[in-house]
């Protein structure tokens, strides 16, 4: 057997193992397959600056990329094991053991890991060995032609079995069934809220500029969950403990019974580059966090709320930002409907004025009142700062592409949630700053649209913008990366005027 053929059989063996693991995970009703668990582990272990660079390049494709990378790595290791199977059997077996051990560790490291998941990993490793033995077995009793035909027939059977198992995993996939069931429950909810239209005067209505109100389907999603948790709201609970006078557990119905408030709030990811689109504005409906914290009572010395997602992600939020009267809520609705699964259904946090990594926990299931000195949350372990207040920012949305000489509309949005925007200025080619016109806003917790009419001359030009907040502090020109506490600098675009 040639080296290329040995490698090919190893890749086929690894493919069969992946199909087997997916099929068994579906049959056993596991929350995550070993492949997803490995992908989550890769995300968890990726250093913050590297994760940030990946997000800045691929944006919303980060999760498919993580899964694809894991699958490719498994296939490459399978090819190597296949190359070793005949001449270096001990190394090949060791490679299978390493693969099984890594997958098992990933499964057990997840919040819903189990012995059943480890069993799936072991069986899948065994499949690699079985397939390789079938395809690479020496048959000195057969003529070369018959041996070749036997190999091709066996390979075809393995491919067919792999396809059947892989297809069955899709049919059996308990996750698909659970998602359908959760979506049915979500659709049947009749929460005490209504879909709200954007307030009058907030949207300039300019062609090619995005709306002031971000539709749910267009809202950015940045989180570490390769597959969003599927939680039945009737079983959801929030446990509150730590430095409190009394512990409390809330159910979904408890939150509904408290009454929902509606607030227009813009939230932004700390990974948003200057002029980026990892930001959205909508109407959130939920229960004020301040009242819940008052009910449990905060002990002296506490300065942080450590929240944990159903998938194990953690977030540290300054208690001061949850107690100072701002519209920090446990959100149940988004734009008048129950939260979409991808955005935290059934319950998430929304806190204006802070980047999402320190405030916007999705699928939240646990609160611990504590001190920043006593823990490190997920992203702070990976290089981001502890508290993450929003910076004053502006973005240029128009013009898009080259324009003709004459009056050209320059427009965009600006934000600094819970401080508000006082004004926006625009300049051309480093010249004098010109005052833009601002639209209305319902509160200081949303972004604001702005526009300016530019008498454009022919030639290549650079357009820059800067915002000034309601404290009179202008956006800084100092260029900073998103790590450790958000990007800064003036947004700029290049425009050719003909």
pLDDT of 151 above 70: no
Asked if 310 and 319 count as a contact pair (C-beta separation under 8 A), the reply is no
pTM score, two decimals? 0.81
Structure tokens belonging to residue 119: 């069993």
Cβ atoms of residues 334 and 340 within 8 Å: yes
Positive or negative, the CA dihedral 424, 428, 431, 432 is: negative
* pLDDT at residue 150, rounded to an integer: 62
Q: Are 23 and 167 in contact (CB under 8 A)?
A: no
Which residues, 6+ apart, have CB-to-CB distance to 209 below 8 Å? Answer: 397, 398, 411, 412, 449
pLDDT at position 171 over 60: no
Query: pLDDT tens digit string along 387-419?
Result: 999 999 999 999 998 999 999 999 999 999 999
Query: 16 vs 363, which has greater pLDDT?
Result: 363
How does residue 143 score in pLDDT terms, banded at 50, 70 and 90? low
Mean of pLDDT values over 166-170: 59
Counting residues of the chain whose pLDDT is more than 70, the rounded percentage is: 90
pLDDT band at 127 (very low <50, low <70, confident <90, very high): very high
pLDDT at residue 146 greater than cutoff 80: no
Tell me which of 24-38, 128-142, 244-258, 419-433 is least confident.
Answer: 128-142
- Dihedral sign for Cα 35, 48, 389, 487, please: negative
Work out the pLDDT band at 445, boundaries 50, 70, 90. very high
Residues contacting 145, CB < 8 A, separation 6+: none
Task: Report CA 71 to chain centroid distance, whole Å.
Answer: 20
Question: 36-50: b or e for each residue (b if 16 or more CB lie within 10 Å)?
Answer: bbbbbbbbbebebee
pLDDT over 60 (residue 489): yes
pLDDT above 90 coverage of the chain, percent: 70
- Where does 216-381 sit in CATH, by number? 3.90.420.10
Reading the block at residue 449, the tokens are: 């649209």
Which has more pLDDT, 207 or 426? Answer: 426
271 touches 482 (CB < 8 A): yes
- The pLDDT of residue 191: 87
What Å distances lie between residue 59 and 53, 364, 394, 448, CA to CA? 10, 23, 20, 24
Q: Over 80: is that where the pLDDT of 483 sits? A: yes
**pLDDT at 280 (0 to 100):** 97
pLDDT level of residue 265 (50, 70, 90 thresholds)? very high
Mean pLDDT of the chain: 90
Domain ranges of the chain: 3-172, 216-381, 393-497
Whole-number pLDDT of residue 147: 56
For the segment 215-237, what is each residue's pLDDT rounded down to a tens digit?
A: 999 999 988 888 899 999 999 99
Contacts of 94 (CB under 8 A, 6+ apart): none
- pLDDT of amino acid 46: 78
Residues 185-200, mean pLDDT to the nearest whole number: 84
Tell me whether residue 443 is exposed, middle or buried, using C-beta atoms within 10 angstroms of its C-beta: 0 to 12, 13 to 18, 19 or more: middle
Residue 176, pLDDT score: 66
- CATH 3.90.1200.10: does it fit domain 393-497? no
> Residue 48: is its pLDDT beyond 90?
no
């Amino acid at each position: 057997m040639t080296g290329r053929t040995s490698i090919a059989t190893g890749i086929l063996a690894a493919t069969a193992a992946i199909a087997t693991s997916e099929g068994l995970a579906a049959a056993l009703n596991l929350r995550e397959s070993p492949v997803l668990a490995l992908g989550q582990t890769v995300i968890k272990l990726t250093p913050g600056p590297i994760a940030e660079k990946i997000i800045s390049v691929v944006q919303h494709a980060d999760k498919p990329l993580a899964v694809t990378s894991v699958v490719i790595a498994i296939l490459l290791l399978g090819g190597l094991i296949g190359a070793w199977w005949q001449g270096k059997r001990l190394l090949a077996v060791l490679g299978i053991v390493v693969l099984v051990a890594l997958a098992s560790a990933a499964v057990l490291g997840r919040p819903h890991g189990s012995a059943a998941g480890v069993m799936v990993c072991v069986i899948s490793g065994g499949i690699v060995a079985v397939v390789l033995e079938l395809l690479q077995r020496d048959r000195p009793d057969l003529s070369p032609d018959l041996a070749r035909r036997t190999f091709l027939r066996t390979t075809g059977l393995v491919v067919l079995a792999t396809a059947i198992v892989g297809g069955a995993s899709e049919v059996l996939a308990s996750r698909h069934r659970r998602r359908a069931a959760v979506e049915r429950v979500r659709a049947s909810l009749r929460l005490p809220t209504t879909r709200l239209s954007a307030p009058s005067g907030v949207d300039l209505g300019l062609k090619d500029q995005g709306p002031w109100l971000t539709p749910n389907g267009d809202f950015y999603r940045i989180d570490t969950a390769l597959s969003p948790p599927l939680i039945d709201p009737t079983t959801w609970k929030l446990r509150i403990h730590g430095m409190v006078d009394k512990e409390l557990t809330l159910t979904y119905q408890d939150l509904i019974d408290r009454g929902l408030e509606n607030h227009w709030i813009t939230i932004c990811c700390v990974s948003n580059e200057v002029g980026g689109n990892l930001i959205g504005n909508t109407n959130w409906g939920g229960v004020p966090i301040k009242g819940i914290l008052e009910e449990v009572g905060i002990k002296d010395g506490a300065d942080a709320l450590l929240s944990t997602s159903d998938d194990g992600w953690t977030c540290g939020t300054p208690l001061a930002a949850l107690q100072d009267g701002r519209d920090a809520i446990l959100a149940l609705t988004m734009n008048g409907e129950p939260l979409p699964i991808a955005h935290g259904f059934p319950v998430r946090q929304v806190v204006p004025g802070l980047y999402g990594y320190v405030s916007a926990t999705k699928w939240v299931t646990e609160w611990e009142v504590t001190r920043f000195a006593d823990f490190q949350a997920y992203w702070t372990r990976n290089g981001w700062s502890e508290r993450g207040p929003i910076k004053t920012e502006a973005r240029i949305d128009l013009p898009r592409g080259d324009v003709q000489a004459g009056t050209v509309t320059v427009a965009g949005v600006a934000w600094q949630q819970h401080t508000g925007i006082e004004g926006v200025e625009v300049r051309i080619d480093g010249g004098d700053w010109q005052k833009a016109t601002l639209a209305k806003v319902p509160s200081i917790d949303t972004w604001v649209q702005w526009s300016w009419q530019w008498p454009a001359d022919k030639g290549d030009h650079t357009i820059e913008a800067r915002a000034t907040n309601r404290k009179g502090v202008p956006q800084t020109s100092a260029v900073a990366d998103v790590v450790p506490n958000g990007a800064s600098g003036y947004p700029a675009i290049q425009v050719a005027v003909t």
